[in-house]
Structure 1
Amino acid sequence: MEILSSPNLIFLLSILLLHQFTAVTSIGVNYGTIANNLPPPAQVAQFIKDKTIINRVKIFDMNPDIIRAFANTGISLSVTVPNGDIAILANPRAARRWVASNIKPFYPQTKINHILVGNEVLHWGDQNMVSNLVPAMRAINNALKRGGLGEIKVTTPHSLGILERSDLPSAARFRAGWDKNILAPMLLFHRQTKSPFMVNPYPYFSWNPQNKQFTLFHRNPGVHDNVAGTTYTNMYDFLLDSVFTSMKKMGFQDVEIAVGEVGWPSAGDPGMTQTTVENARWHNLNIMKKAGSGVGTPLMPGRRFETFIFALFNENLKPGSNAERNFGLFRPDFSPVYDIGIMRGQAGGVVVKPAPVPVTGKQWCVPKAEASDGALQSNIDYVCNNGMNCGPIQEGGPCFDPNTVRSHAAYVMNSYYQAKGYQSYNCDFSGTGIVTFSDPSKLDSHSKLIWVPNGPLFPGYRNQGSPQHMYNECNGSLLGKGVTK
């Protein structure tokens, strides 16, 4: 029996533990209904329960048919008070009547966990709605407690129009006028009630051809914030940390943040080159992975954010560009627009999360032959900035030698792929990774797949006698042991 050294054993155990944690990923979704071709709510609720890993749903109204449809499904439901009702519900007596009529008849059979008081009120509402927003939140919360429903949390979603324009998260702040008059008392309410501050951070609305890699979670040089001492590799973290900084400047950094909406359209009008199925898939796949990873952001490491992808269905009656009608994960017939691993599998009658791709032997993720050192260095930066332990490839670490970008990239790419459960998209790395069934540490100088000395695959690698491997056991058999399916 081979005995692993202590550092290697600890690292291998950490990989296995991380794999177990990533196996319980779940996600929320926005269920919009601006369409004339959607299936009945009861079918929708049953589909979500039986066929997907979605465990929370957010709706934009108080539709009793939808609320009733989710009864006894175990799926958490967030319901929305229409903007036009906010002023009325600032009255405590009206709030009590509203809770008695709209919440009590359905709870707890339907697992209502949030009441959202309006939707992006500061962005869309008139002054009467805005001035009554926090009083209505307080009145509804008090009515819930008085009615024995205090476990239901009250919040309201915000567009990022609540922020002043800023170039970096460290410079972010809430808009003057709203900061002290509306948002400070609201954040105090969230602190007192332990409810989340809900925001809708759409990287999509920040897209332009110059920042497309940054916006879409592809490899990029990153954006450094000198004041905060942080580096951002994607727009999503950038936006969330801008919200956090704004909260912190007002003394409310302890309040939790929830993501009420985030998504990307899979189609748009002519000329909208960013609205493609692949862009939507890659964006939402990364959002889902972020939601379940617990990695957090540069300013909020280790935080998890309750997250609702927009949207469940393509909605054919939404106004605006064609993109507005193509944010859905699914078509109205329940067929997926693209695959982000959100569908459940069946095993012996037991519903399970989509499993990693079945492995008949050991698998490794290695760099493609044509991948440049620049691209591979970006892969290293990405993995090491997203929660993986890269200590072994640092100087003095057990996997430092051979000290080449390609060898180090092979190590971190393979570690990431195996930790994430052998899903093929976790070896994509913007087209620079490939899955192999051959142990990289065993491949010699005659291997056409991995290495040819001074040859066309990896020019510049010198053959120093008996075959010089560009990978060592750290990239091959060690990580393969104990994790074969």
Structure 2
Amino acid sequence: MQGERLVFAERMLDCIRVLLLLLSSFGFSIHGGAGAGAFVGLNVGTSLSNMPSPDQVVSLLKIKKIRHVRLYDSDRGMLLALANTSIEVIISIPNNQVLALGESNSSAANWVNKNVAGYLPDTKITGIVVGNEILTSLPNAAIVLVSAMKFLHSALVAANLDGQETDSYLMMNLYPYYTYMQGNGKVPLDYALFQPLTPEKEAVDPNTLLHYTNVFDAMVDAVYYSMSNLNYTNISVVVAETGWPSKGDASEPRATTDNAATYNSNLVKHIFNITGTPKRPGVPVNTYIYELYNEDLKPGPLSEQNWGLFNANGTPVYALHVSGAGEFLANNITNQSYCVAKPGADTKLLQAALDWACGPGQANCTAIQGGEDCFNPDTVGAHASYAFNSYYHKTGMAMGSCDFKGVATITTTNPSHDSCFYSGSGRGNDSTGNGTTFADSRSTYLIANDSMALYILVLFLSLLLIVDRQI
């Protein structure tokens, strides 16, 4: 059995040594934002056809108790809306601006004065990310990137934002979803989703004999080991992006709401438990989930538009179960989510789902019978919404219990009306039902001993600087 386990581990590590991760973002820490214990934040993308206003975005963040966000730019409206809140924000320099900033001190100084100094201390800017996956989108940008970071640091010093040069962190994008998809069957789905594994199914590093129960930890540790090989052992890491898509095309069968809910729920609990990784147990790995909203304007496969936790109108894409995460995502608002029929859903499909919910699903459908409080409006959609919600709460709002073959959706808007009270409203005609609702391109990976990857890591570590300021 031990031999089989090691063979499995070697095959697994061939996929997991996805590392060294081709560093996705380079930057500075301001005000020591990543060092204050474990947290989970959200990335805020803006490729939406109906992008909410900055005030609406911040309102959602405040309602859901999301206190750490990362922007992909330094949008003035967002930075003003975030002023005088408890939300800490990392801003970014888009790739198309990095080249200009690498040309002169004056360009960098102007950028810092306009996008950082002008908002402090009202807006809690805690970090600056220079580019996003810039070395994959602009392969020749390495030399300019070095200059841009040097000039930016000089500009921060000149603006009296340099503070002390210690305790900065390395940011990276980690996507177990892509590791699984590109693993050719070598990476079990449960291993990618943080699901429990029996000991014989755990991956074992043949060099250290450390056991790994999930892809995420293996990827983080691969970065730690790569840094150790270069004699850097005291640098923290922050995961700038991770997540799981809730929908994909035919070639992405594992991009589902159930898998997205499972991955992100387990991720949040894993981070807040401060379990650390096998190499560094108990060391927090602060993480930003990709992402706040589904971005319907994103190019690429269908999954690219479906990484968000929320729709543009603020309703959750799926339910998360994140007990033990404190107030994050306004946890434990159990009775404030509802399962209703999707607007525009096919009537025949709704009727079939309604029949199932009131029959084999054993939902309480008494209130939608003739003469009862929820009979009107007498439409398939209205009756389906009541039945779907009854089933959803009857199952404890379990993951996957509000799908009904795609004709149902979760909402935080109470659908009760007149004397018709839905389960979860606190006055239900049907008292049933715990869970929590809320609601690239990604990373290019290289083998750990790849010379280019090591060069990039050395490049970054040579520039790793903190610009701390107590505000």
Contact residue 26 and residue 53 of structure 1 kept, 8 A: no
Matches within 5 A, 1:147-162: 147-150=159-162
Which residue identity lines up with residue 83 of structure 1 in the other structure? N
What are the ranges of 5 or more consecutive residues in structure 2 without an aligned counterpart?
Answer: 1-36, 336-395, 400-471
Distance 1:281 1:231, change over 3 A: same
Which residue does the alignment assign to 1:136? 148
Which residue does the alignment assign to 1:108? 121
User: What secondary structure is seen at the aligned counterpart in 2 of 1:339?
Assistant: strand
Contact residue 66 and residue 328 of structure 2 kept, 8 A: no
Deviation at 1:351, TM superposition (A): 11
2:105 equivalent to 1:92 = yes
TM-score, length-scaled by structure 2? 0.58
Contact residue 64 and residue 328 of structure 2 kept, 8 A: no
Contact residue 52 and residue 344 of structure 1 kept, 8 A: no
C-alpha distance in 2 between matches for 1:255 and 1:134? 19
2:268 equivalent to 1:282 = no
Listed one character per residue, the Cα deviations across residues 17-63 of structure 1 (whole Å, up to 9, x for unaligned) are: xxxxxxx97420000001111211111111111x1131111111121
Which residue does the alignment assign to 1:391? none
Distance 1:137 1:290, change over 3 A: farther
| Identity over aligned pairs, percent | 33
Listed one character per residue, the Cα deviations across residues 246-293 of structure 1 (whole Å, up to 9, x for unaligned) are: 111111121110000000000111242201101000101111112212
C-alpha distance in 2 between matches for 1:115 and 1:334? 27
TM-score, length-scaled by structure 1? 0.57
Which structure exhibits the higher relative contact order, with contacts defined as CA atoms closer than 8 Å and separated by 6 or more residues?
Answer: 2
Match of 2:131 among 118, 121, 137: 118
Distance 1:344 1:314, change over 3 A: farther
Contact residue 66 and residue 329 of structure 2 kept, 8 A: no
What are the ranges of 5 or more consecutive residues in structure 1 without an aligned counterpart?
Answer: 1-23, 154-191, 359-422, 427-485
Listed one character per residue, the Cα deviations across residues 349-404 of structure 1 (whole Å, up to 9, x for unaligned) are: x999524979xxxxxxxxxxxxxxxxxxxxxxxxxxxxxxxxxxxxxxxxxxxxxx
Contact residue 310 and residue 317 of structure 2 kept, 8 A: yes
Which residue identity lines up with residue 218 of structure 1 in the other structure? Q
Which residue does the alignment assign to 1:217? 194
Which residue identity lines up with residue 219 of structure 1 in the other structure? P
C-alpha distance in 2 between matches for 1:270 and 1:320? 13
C-alpha distance in 2 between matches for 1:57 and 1:352? 13
Matches within 5 A, 1:35-114: 35-49=48-62, 51-90=63-102, 91-114=104-127
* Matched residue count: 295
Listed one character per residue, the Cα deviations across residues 307-353 of structure 1 (whole Å, up to 9, x for unaligned) are: 100010000000011100000000111111122257999xxxx9995
C-alpha distance in 1 between matches for 2:172 and 2:38? 21
C-alpha distance in 1 between matches for 2:159 and 2:320? 40
Distance 1:218 1:310, change over 3 A: same
Which residue identity lines up with residue 275 of structure 1 in the other structure? A
2:209 equivalent to 1:229 = yes
Contact residue 269 and residue 323 of structure 2 kept, 8 A: no
Match of 1:313 among 281, 287, 293: 293
Distance 1:425 1:25, change over 3 A: farther
Listed one character per residue, the Cα deviations across residues 53-87 of structure 1 (whole Å, up to 9, x for unaligned) are: 31111111121111111111110111111112223
User: What secondary structure is seen at the aligned counterpart in 2 of 1:54?
Assistant: coil
Contact residue 55 and residue 81 of structure 2 kept, 8 A: yes
Distance 1:275 1:246, change over 3 A: same
C-alpha distance in 2 between matches for 1:352 and 1:54? 6
Listed one character per residue, the Cα deviations across residues 393-436 of structure 1 (whole Å, up to 9, x for unaligned) are: xxxxxxxxxxxxxxxxxxxxxxxxxxxxxx9989xxxxxxxxxx
Contact residue 244 and residue 263 of structure 2 kept, 8 A: yes
Which residue identity lines up with residue 195 of structure 2 in the other structure? H
Contact residue 214 and residue 234 of structure 1 kept, 8 A: yes
Distance 1:259 1:425, change over 3 A: farther
Where do 4+ consecutive residues of structure 1 move more than 6 Å? 342-345, 423-426
Computed over aligned residues only, the root mean square deviation of the Cα atoms, in angstroms, reads 2.9
C-alpha distance in 2 between matches for 1:97 and 1:333? 36
Contact residue 38 and residue 285 of structure 2 kept, 8 A: no
Which residue does the alignment assign to 2:316? 336
